[in-house]
Structure 1
Amino acid sequence: MNARERLFVSYFSLLFFMSHFNCRAKKNRVELLKLLSAADYHVLSLDYRGFGDSSGEPSEAGLTSDALYLYQWVKQQNRESFVCLWGHSLGSGVVTNAAVRLQEQGSPADAVVLEGPYTRMREVVAIHPLTKLYNFLPGFESLIWHILEKNNIEFANDKNLKTLTSPLLILHSEDDNIVPYQMGLKLHQISVQARKEHDIDAPVEMVSYAANLGYSHNRIYLDPNLANVVRGFLQRLRQ
């Protein structure tokens, strides 16, 4: 049995980490992947097209397609694999897009984890520190909106969670300086309400991290209990 066969022969939860822009080698991502791997999860990560080792031009449709391809490839290796999609920051939009698409195709994702998620791209761009830095320039804000609209970039987590039926875990730090904690809370409320209205039993959980812990946007991996949080969530789904 070769290494690839050994990877997919087990029934351990197979966790995907869909990182945001830059590349998978960024310190916070490496540390999170090491933590999850040490907890006996098979972890696959990717560089989005146009970043790291991946070629091509990034777009919402393209990034979503990349996530779908990777998910479906893993399922093809072992149909019994329990696959969880994990999205951090921008990756949360990629993951909910992919999860909704899988659901529409009749093969919903086994579970979804969103770390530091935003409501939709336009709202988070409007309050991003770099945007605020240049907002004094005449026409800067309208230029940003034009770019998003021209390239059909939406990444609407709030819209996606109104229809998503997969089990959902949200992780968010109260001192997040990139994506406000209130956005994570809003997404949790949207999902809970939608599942109540449509009588969907799949769980929705949210873990909040106090501001005094200093985890901000990129350091939730420092939580010494994170592996247990993830393990507990996934094991409850397997019961």
Structure 2
Amino acid sequence: MIKRLLYLIFLISLWISGIAFETVVVGALLTLFVMYFMIPLVFHYSPVLQRHIVFLNFVNLPKRVDYNTPEREDLPGTRNFYLKTEDNVKVGVWHVLPGSLISSVPKEETADHVAWYEKSLGDERPVILYLHGNTSSRATAHRIELYKVLRKMDYHVVAFDYRGYADSSPVQPNELGVVHDAKVVYRYIRERIGSSPLFVWGHSLGTGVSTHAVGDLCLEGDHPAALVLESPFNNIKDEIKFHPLSSLYETALKVRPKGAPPVKFVGFAASCGYSHKYIYQAPELPDILREFFHEAGETKN
């Protein structure tokens, strides 16, 4: 009797194990089907989903930011303002002063205060237009740390949020829209800098925005002194396939017209730990930038 009972328990356990094994196999197959067939299929045929994944403007900072008080983000000597880029669209902008000008800022928020900031753009110090990557805003920590590096070099920094980001108009971004925003901010700076050198800096998604915008500006005969691409990509396909292999630089070398200014690639060892967005930690970064900007024709610093 006991033997029969044990044998029955054994058979039941085998049956349960078989069900569990089949469940695991079916679950694994369903997961693979969803990940490698359904999601790519939906992504391919859904432009709306593509835009959301590319821009990720719905991913915000874990803390609330008062963009009107950048000094609370450890950026004294910074003006917050808004520019209208087209009907029903405005973008939030920070003008971060060079370190040597912080103590000279007028104390009160008046018309003279605004005029002083705008006039300072033409003081012949270099001006950097910074175009950030996807997610969050101009107030993200690693972006602020980069502004600090640049202001310590005595550069002006103008950083803004594209449409759909942060305190800019809640309009779903697309390529043409964010490029248009960038060109409007660029022209705002250009109209005020006089002979000051103007550089464009794009990071990650911002490298795509900046190259498109600068390409348009060059065709219009209004190019910046130089373009800096931090953590750039060639296109989405190459970004996925060749990310560690600098595919954009290799392409630039192949298609660069004769007589065009040179393309310079600066890499950092993986052991440095700068990853995708911590280049500001590189102690040699200021010297790299000074040399590059000097080669681009900047002789003031």
TM-score by length of 2: 0.57
Name structure 1 gaps, 5 residues minimum.
128-178
- The answer to whether structure 1 residue 181 and structure 2 residue 240 are counterparts is no
Structure 2 residue aligned with 1:23:
137
- Secondary structure of 1:205's match? coil
Q: Distance in 1 between matches of 2:117 and 2:168?
A: 21
**Equivalent pair of 1:75/1:81 in contact (CA under 8 Å):** no
Query: Which one of 283, 286, 294 corresponds to residue 224 of structure 1?
Result: 283
Q: What's the secondary structure of 2:127's corresponding residue?
A: strand
Q: Provide the aligned C-alpha RMSD in A.
A: 1.8
2:253 alignment counterpart: 192
Normalised TM-score (structure 1): 0.71
- Counterpart-to-counterpart distance in 1, 2:232 and 2:272: 19
Deviations 1:181-226 (A, max 9, x none): 31xx22212222223xx31241211110001111110111110111
Contact kept? 1:116, 1:181, Cα under 8 Å? no
Asked whether the equivalents of residues 238 and 247 of structure 2 are also in contact (C-alpha less than 8 Å), the reply is no
Secondary structure in structure 2 of the residue aligned to 1:77: coil
The alignment covers a number of residue pairs equal to: 183
Confirm or deny that 1:3 pairs with 2:64: no
Q: 2:175 aligned to 56, 60, 67, which one?
A: 60
Aligned partner (choices 146, 150, 153) of residue 36 of structure 1: 150
Among all aligned residue pairs of Structure 1 and Structure 2, give the percentage whose two residues are the same amino acid.
33
Unaligned runs of 5+ in 2: 1-111
Give the whole-Å Cα distance in 2 for the aligned partners of 1:181 and 1:222.
Answer: 20
| 1:45 is aligned to 2:104 | no
Aligned residue number for residue 118 of structure 1: 233
Which is higher, the Rg of structure 1 or of structure 2?
A: 2
One-letter amino acid of the counterpart of residue 17, structure 1: Y
CA 1:58/1:18 → structure 2, altered by over 3 Å: closer, same or farther?
Answer: same
Q: Aligned partners of 1:207 and 1:43: how far apart in 2? A: 22
Q: Deviations along 1:45-95, whole A, 9 cap, x unmatched?
A: 011111111112211111000110011111111242311111100000000
| 2:74 corresponding residue in structure 1 | none
CA distance in 2, matches of 1:233, 1:38: 17
Partner SS for 2:252: helix
Aligned positions of 1:34-113 closer than 5 A: 34-55=148-169, 56-113=171-228
Distance apart, 1:5 and its partner CA: 4.2
Pair 101,43 (structure 1): closer, same or farther in 2 beyond 3 Å:
same
